[in-house]
Amino acid sequence: MPELPEVETARRVLEEHALGRRIIDVDDSDTYECRPHRPGDIRAALVGRRLTTAHRRGKSMWCETSGAGRSRTPGPLLGLHLGMSGKVVVIDPDGQEIDGGDYWDRGRQPGDLRFTRFALTFSDGGRLVLLDPRRLGRVRLDPDIDGLGPDAAEITWDEFRALMGRGSAPVKARLLDQSALAGVGNLLADQALWQARVDPRRPVEGLTRPMVRRLHDAVRASIQAAVAGGGVHTLAVVPYRKAGARCPRCGAAMQRGTVGGRTTWWCSREQR
């Protein structure tokens, strides 16, 4: 599932290539991806407007829109959620394609738009499309983001220390709680806990201050590494999340279990 780094790459594609272009048509005919809106609702709300700013908190992404025509009254927010396999593609009038979002094992060949679930057409002939093979993404006007916790890429030390200072939940479960910390998914959590040498099963109330400090630093560093590398699949511990693998740092056996309802891997020696 796309985690914060994949969504950030998609946001950057929107910011660099889709803003300021006037929308002349919208394909919102996929009633599942665009629920609860009816076909034509999003089109009616967006035609004549421009995307003006691209935002992200955790795994949620949305764009502000301009007034229609000469109106200075801003339009609705356009929420784009990538689901488990989504990516955005901006197609320029000359056919050049720029995409960002989920990593697909087999990649995507230019011109392959089979999984288009939503699209904007710009007045210059370009397009913005949301590709989603599993059809688990979401397009929504004025999405609700109030229930999300602080963004994992921006959370301060004081906020993180407060988050990890109370309760009996396993630390990995707390990292995955989007209402507490927005953006950390399964692979990113395993990487940060491995990097910080923290047992994912340890209750948050049992974390020492040095552990919390290391984990805060590791979350931030893991996000930066994943964005730079092209996604969470590029993180150091990910290839070793399998039976028979050994920790790439100390050589001890990697251990598997379920924490917070998710398959979890950790170093049997250093994360105890």
Nearest to 141 by CA among 67, 43, 73, 209: 43
Q: Which of 3, 6, 8, 33 is catalytic?
A: 3
Query: Do residues 41 and 141 make contact, with C-beta atoms less than 8 angstroms apart?
Result: yes
Both tokens of 38, joined, read 């009816």
Pick the catalytic residue from 11, 21, 56, 59: 59
Contact 226, 190 (CB under 8 A): no
Q: Is position 262 annotated as part of the catalytic site?
A: yes
Catalytic residue among 12, 262, 269, 270: 262
Residue 39 to residue 263: CA distance in whole angstroms? 38
> For residues 241 and 259, is the Cβ–Cβ distance under 8 A?
no
C-alpha to C-alpha distances, 159 to 17, 202, 212, nearest whole angstrom: 33, 20, 11
Please say if 59 is a catalytic residue: yes
User: Among all residues, which ones are annotated catalytic?
Assistant: 2-3, 59, 262
